Amino acid sequence: MRLIILGAPGSGKGTTAVVLKEKYGLAHISTGDIFRSNIKAGTPLGLEAKSYIDKGQLVPDSITIGMVEGRLAESDCAKGYILDGFPRTIAQAEALDEMLSKKNEKIDAVLSIIVDDDIIKDRVCSRRVCEKCGASFNVKYKPTKVEGVCDLCGGSVVQRADDTPETVEARLVTYYENTKPLIDFYDAKGLIIEGNNNVDSDTCIKSIEDGLAKLGI
């Protein structure tokens, strides 16, 4: 099973991906993780990407696509995977199709997580993150047992600097500008499965699982 997951910042995309990963035995492929791994390992693509990042510039598609191709060739992807953060543009989506077609493979479904903007803003602005282990909490929906202290490692739990209403609004605008064409691209192929996460993650995940079952995946 080869999946792509799309969702606005704060939509619950990461939580959904983790649950599906465990249920179906998939690799969770995050472009952020791929970049960090390549940069840390000092690979040629990682060093090239770092040169752009250090200048505050966007990493060219050719580098990103090369990293993704290398990651998909690793053994844990043999049973299937969820792509998270890639593709971000039509050009990347077309490159992915070409990459997979060389191996007689294809994307089976594209999961689109739907959440109202007001709910996203509320969730993100009340989100808190552990400085030590990165665990995520929420002062309204998933508070720590002890205020400001991580339940998992005892580290300090803080609000990220970019989890503000103004920043969230800007990120949503960027997301919709970039992602709407991508959703249309995959919808034309009949691959979109929507998961509504306005209520709770269980409802969202159940609708996605039902959608996958209808496709016979």
Of residues 50, 121, 142, 171, which has the active-site annotation? 171
Catalytic site residue 88?
Answer: yes
Catalytic site residue 13?
Answer: yes
Catalytic site residue 127?
Answer: yes
Quote the CA–CA distance of 87 and 10 in Å, as a whole number.
Answer: 18
> Helix 61-72 to helix 90-101 angle, to the nearest 10 degrees?
40
Of residues 50, 88, 121, 142, which has the active-site annotation? 88
Of residues 40, 106, 160, 180, which has the active-site annotation? 160
Asked if 84 and 13 count as a contact pair (C-beta separation under 8 A), the reply is yes
Gap between the terminal Cα atoms of the chain: 7
* Number of Cβ atoms within 10 Å of the Cβ of 180: 10
Alpha-carbon separation of residue 27 from 84, 95, 191 (angstroms)? 10, 20, 20
Residue 30 burial (10 A CB sphere; 0-12, 13-18, 19+): middle
**Positions marked active-site:** 13, 88, 127, 160, 171
